[in-house]
A and B are shown apart, each in its own frame.
Chain A
Amino acid sequence: MNVNIRQLQAQKAKLKYVTVRMYNVGFGDAFLLLLPTSEGTRKILIDCGVHAAGRNTNFDIKEVVSKIIEDVTDKGMEPYIDVVICTHRHQDHIMGFADARWSDVSVGEVWMPWTEDPKDSEARKLKSLQSRLATQLTDSFARRLLAPSISEPEKLRLSGLKDLAVNSMSNTNAMKTLHDGFSNNPLHRYLPPSQRKEHTFTTENLPGVVVHVLGPSRDPDVIRKMNPPAAQSYLAMNECASVGQSIRPFRESWAIQPPGFESAYPHLAVPARLKNQLDRTDTEAEELLAASLDQAVNGTSLMLMFQIGSAYLLFPGDAQWGTWQAAMQDTQWRELLGKTTFLKVGHHGSHNATPVEFVENILEQDNFQGMVSVQKIDIWKNIPRAPLMSALRDKSGGEICISQEEDDTPPRFRRSDDNKVIEFDVSV
């Protein structure tokens, strides 16, 4: 580990706490870390976005951006952020970056998962596939929504699915800001670096901070899983259909219409009610595909541990089981995870982003605080997952703050009167 111990100790003397500020965006993530040092407060922005299906109507994303820019502008200075982090490309984590005002902000470094590296051919392939799939699925759900005879519950289901697919679209404008839209030309890091020993690093922009990159994986088997199953054939079929190409498998002369066939070969007749059951290219398959795509993009999430003095702040993005499993199997990472003193709960408190194993056997009892950024969406009753929330509350000794639960803010958390910002000071 390339850690400059002396530098660390020197900083430790000056740093008493780190402030974690959660913007109450709704169903989305925007976090600002404030590190007071002798040379002023260092700032790390982690994500800035909100989901199409779960906007906070009292605090829209434009206003969030204004507030963040205001918060990173020191008196008499230009707005400046030491490090901007995009954990992954989902809208609910980055759509705020599409705002034009970011061009007035200068930035020290931008960190993104390696899957966003424009120079990496594997990453480009993956990204193009995921974006094509998101576009196709969005179109398909939108088309189905236009059907005249559609029932009300079906309408709700389809628009939820459409929002899910939209969330994975390429988000070009936001990504453009992150790649070259700030007022200066910041250093870009695509993490983790390919060498394992560089997965832990320090940077001059964040004195006193050791960064550990626990994910996403670069293992080819894991990357293959970032391709949602069945995506290729779905794409190929849709793309053929959209340019009017036939997907009929044989010359027309082989095909026989049912009435004629069934009287010529009664023993081969398929009962009418079975005919529909044979065609499996239905919305159910698209539903699974949309969820798989969502999971795959979440799977590209940066999973970061900030080690600051005695504090260990874990920001797993929306990392899914694959990343967690790999981290928990690695003895060094597992030990590190056990030291967590602050946890940003992944994926808005959903079932798949915080393993039971981590909560039950790795986190230390009564030794951490946590934040969940979420707003309940009617059609997704499982987010945040109630049993997980209560398990985390039990494990932390009641120190979990959920953004949507205005009336239930644990004592040491500060919620602003307008309910737009929630803060916690992590002592270092």
Chain B
Amino acid sequence: MPTRQTGTRVQTPPRRPLKIYAFDPMLGRNVGNKIVLDVRNEPLAPGPYGQRIQVMDYDGAAGVYYEPVDLNAPEVLVQSGLEPSEADPRFHQQMVYAVASKVLENFEVALGRRLTFRQNKPLKIYPHAFIGANAFYDPKLVALLFGYFKADQMDPGANLPGQTIFTCLSHDIIAHETTHALIDRLKRYFIEPSNSDVPAFHEGFADIVAIFQHFSFSGILRDKIQQTRANLREPSPLISLAEQFGYATGKGQALRNAIANPNPSDYQTMFEPHERGSILVAAIFDAFFQTYQLRIRDLVKLATDGSGLLPQGDLDPNLVNLIANEAAKAAQSILTMCIRAIDYLPPVDITFGDYLRALITADYELSPSDQFGQRAAIIEAFRIRGIYPDSVSSLAEESLLWGSTDDYESLPEFFPVEQLGDLLRREAAEWSRSPATMQFEHVQSETCEESANSTWLGTSYDDPFVDLDHNVVQALAEYALKNRKALGLHPSHDLKVSVTGFHPVFRVAPTGDMLVELVAQFTQSEREINANDERELGGLPMRGGTTVIASASGKIKYVISKPLLSPNLTPEQWERAEQRKLRQIRYVQEVDVRNPLTPYCDVTSEQYRTRMKNGLSFAGIHRGLQK
């Protein structure tokens, strides 16, 4: 891009304002649905085509491209991006770019580091990939694919019967799918359905991120607080997901929402990933409403001379502003907590109970005092939904912290920080650099084969998934081998240890303290030992793995492990590992019995043998998006 050198140089602005539909076009006629989203400013080519998010508008059904938007064109810049319009594909491109960028930013701020996508690649977004009431994240293509379709003829809601509906114009669907891509980047084995909570976590988490993002739309939030007299639990688009999509597919309501009465049997019986995920969504929002009430209590008392009862009629606009600020802060705080917890999860086979422990541990590390009762509210919300972690003695905060009940016989030695070179310095420098000053790199079109290579120790370090340099991986792998026992890894030398991820994180606590941590993920798979099991497991290997969290000095703080059955384990750990394996086998049976294709499958075919690996892609799951 040529830079103008004449006159006084204007500093590159750090943010770029872009117009979007706050929810989706169905609410377009309502005031306030068109909003301006502030995203980080980065160099962009037409597309929009940035460093990590690249919009490719090729219509796979029609076999044509659509004119790409140039967000740097002066006509576009002066009006904060194109005006929202269903008829102009360039606005669609702008909206998917803006919303996906916002989600990426939310993750980066919460996790305290720069992120790329799977295999260290940029994320491609195809806003009009195919015809169909669906949208999904394709991990092989590292891409989001959005469909378009005609609204239901009989029951279209506020849509016109037969109107074209674009899934790429739904804020929630974009945010949901982008979140899938990010979770996949952070936890690559969560795409393997090893128990019913794994796909449900992917779905529920994606909904949580999508719905919480609504609370950053300040105008809408203020209106809603005025309308509901500060009772945000009242049903509204604010706490619903993908309304237009729900109506357009004849469901007669939003696709999903954040509120549901807690019923402990749901966790026992709900199976379909979106439904099961909604238990998680409801739990998190319960906690949010609790802390929100606590945060505004004094405010309301102050405004009502201590009575706490709001007067009849419209609320004072100043009060509405103050309450909206608190709501936005509470939402951001819980969302950040939810995202941050991902670093504290085991690398494989997550359950909702694991997630509860990760939430509590991550938040405790950053702010031990729990000022607004967030952790207490979360624990309670999980408890009333019957979600308990395995192997904790109580739901007290101390017992939920990771590591506090895992009685490893010996503690692992210090992390080899000195061998990690200047990784910390480089990452810190990267983190403090503004994306607006990044050089625009012209990334070539990617090839999409997944390499069969992996970071198996002793074979190859060229794992395309892991964006680490060779020396770091080697140092970590040697560390893991030396500490197999203390890390809950299988001691057999036939079983390789893979370094699945490693990164430093930089976070600022509410107190202003800087927290620097190192997070490493090691995984193993039983595939080499027992090929017969694979059949029973539908083609997925039985995996074990450990997440290790260390302080900047290298002292080990947490060892979060899902071990394979191995002689290293204590009797209790052995018992748990055995249960975990049985659970995975049972899960395969549960999936089979519900799958309408099972009776008509050729059980001798390769496709059937690997059905858990290939049959349950996100494309498959999301064909059920409209329930």
Contacts and interface: CB of A to CB of B under 8 A. Distances in A.
Contact of B597 (A254, A258, A287, A347): A287
Given A224-B627, A280-B129, A347-B599, A240 B162 contact: yes
Interface stretch (A18-26, A184-192, A377-385, A411-419): A377-385
Given A236-B153, A268-B46, A277-B141, A255 B66 contact: yes
Contact of B87 (A239, A250, A271, A380): A250
A261 interface: yes
Nearest to B600: A380
Contacts of A265: 46-47, 65, 68
Contacts of A294: 596
Given A278-B60, A382-B603, A269 B445 contact: yes
Contact of A268 (B49, B154, B269): B49
A235 B133 CA distance: 11
Main secondary structure of the interface of A (DSSP, over half): helix
B325 interface: no
B597 A280 contact: no
A281 interface: yes
A254 B604 contact: no
Contacts of B131: 237, 247, 279, 281
Nearest to A387: B603
A321 B445 contact: no
A277 B61 CA distance: 10
Contact of A278 (B130, B134, B596): B130
A1 B46 CA distance: 72
* Those 10 A-B pairs whose CB atoms lie nearest each other, nearest first: A278-B60, A233-B133, A279-B60, A295-B596, A350-B599, A236-B150, A291-B596, A261-B65, A255-B64, A233-B149
B601 interface: yes
Interface in A160-175: 160, 164
Contacts of B152: 232-233, 236
Contacts of A235: 153
B600 A291 contact: yes
Contacts, number: 191
Q: Give the interface centre of B166, B443, B593 by most chain A CB atoms within 10 Å.
A: B593
Interface residues of A, number: 65
Interface in A312-337: 321, 325, 329
Interface of B: 45-47, 49, 56-68, 87-89, 126, 128-134, 141, 145, 147-154, 162, 164, 166, 249-251, 269, 442-443, 445, 447-448, 589, 592-604, 619-620, 623-627
A150 interface: no
B519 to A, nearest CB: 33
Contacts of B595: 352
Q: By CB atoms of chain B within 10 A, which of A271, A280, A291 has the most?
A: A280
Dominant SS at the B interface?
A: loop
Contacts of A196: none
A256 B66 contact: yes
B450 to A, nearest CB: 14
B66 A164 contact: no
A268 B66 contact: no
Given A229-B623, A232-B133, A280-B134, A256 B65 contact: yes
A43 B144 CA distance: 59
Interface in A347-397: 347, 350-352, 355-356, 379-383, 385
A287 B598 CA distance: 12
Given A236-B149, A292-B596, A383-B599, A270 B56 contact: yes
Given A249-B148, A280-B134, A230 B448 contact: no
Nearest to B252: A224
Interface in A259-288: 261-262, 265, 267-271, 274-281, 285, 287-288
Contacts of B133: 230, 232-233
A232 B626 contact: yes
B98 to A, nearest CB: 18
Contact of B599 (A261, A268, A271, A382): A382
Contacts of B132: 230, 233-234, 237, 280-281, 285
Given A229-B626, A233-B626, A351 B593 contact: yes
A227 B592 CA distance: 20
Q: Among B46, B58, B66, which residue has the most Cβ atoms of chain A within 10 A? A: B58
Contacts of B620: 288
A237 B149 CA distance: 7
Given A247-B150, A258-B63, A381-B602, A321 B597 contact: no
16 contacts: A125-B154, A224-B251, A230-B133, A250-B66, A250-B87, A255-B64, A255-B65, A257-B65, A267-B445, A268-B57, A277-B60, A279-B130, A285-B623, A287-B597, A321-B593, A355-B593
Contacts of B623: 229-230, 285, 288
Nearest to A247: B131
A252 to B, nearest CB: 9
A318 B102 CA distance: 48
A75 interface: no
Contacts of A143: none
A380 B605 CA distance: 12
Contacts of B597: 287-288, 291
A381 B499 CA distance: 42
B65 A240 contact: no
Interface of A: 125, 160, 164, 224-225, 227, 229-230, 232-237, 239-240, 245, 247-251, 254-258, 261-262, 265, 267-271, 274-281, 285, 287-288, 291-292, 294-295, 321, 325, 329, 347, 350-352, 355-356, 379-383, 385
Nearest to B599: A350
Given A249-B148, A350-B599, A325 B64 contact: no
Given A233-B132, A249-B166, A274-B448, A281 B61 contact: yes
- Taking each of B60, B592, B627, which has the highest tally of chain A beta carbons within 10 Å of its own beta carbon? B60
Contacts of B589: 356
B376 to A, nearest CB: 32
A278 B150 contact: no
A222 to B, nearest CB: 12
A236 to B, nearest CB: 4
Contacts of B598: 350-352, 382
Contacts of A230: 132-134, 623-624, 626
Contacts of A239: 153
Contact of B269 (A269, A276, A280, A329): A329
Contacts of B87: 250-251
A325 B620 CA distance: 23
Contacts of A247: 61, 131, 150, 164
A278 B627 contact: no
A348 to B, nearest CB: 8
Nearest to A318: B599
A382 B147 CA distance: 33
A51 to B, nearest CB: 12
A160 B599 CA distance: 13
A275 B58 contact: yes
Given A249-B62, A258-B64, 15 more contacts: A229-B624, A232-B249, A236-B149, A237-B149, A237-B150, A249-B128, A249-B148, A250-B87, A254-B66, A256-B66, A267-B47, A267-B443, A281-B131, A352-B596, A382-B601
A239 B152 CA distance: 11
A355 B594 CA distance: 10
Given A229-B623, A249-B148, A382-B601, A236 B129 contact: no
B596 A268 contact: no
Nearest to B131: A281
A256 B601 contact: no
A288 B592 CA distance: 14
B164 A249 contact: yes
Nearest to A164: B600
A230 to B, nearest CB: 5
Contact of A160 (B593, B600, B626): B600
A381 B604 contact: yes
A90 to B, nearest CB: 13
Contacts of B65: 255-258, 261-262, 265, 268
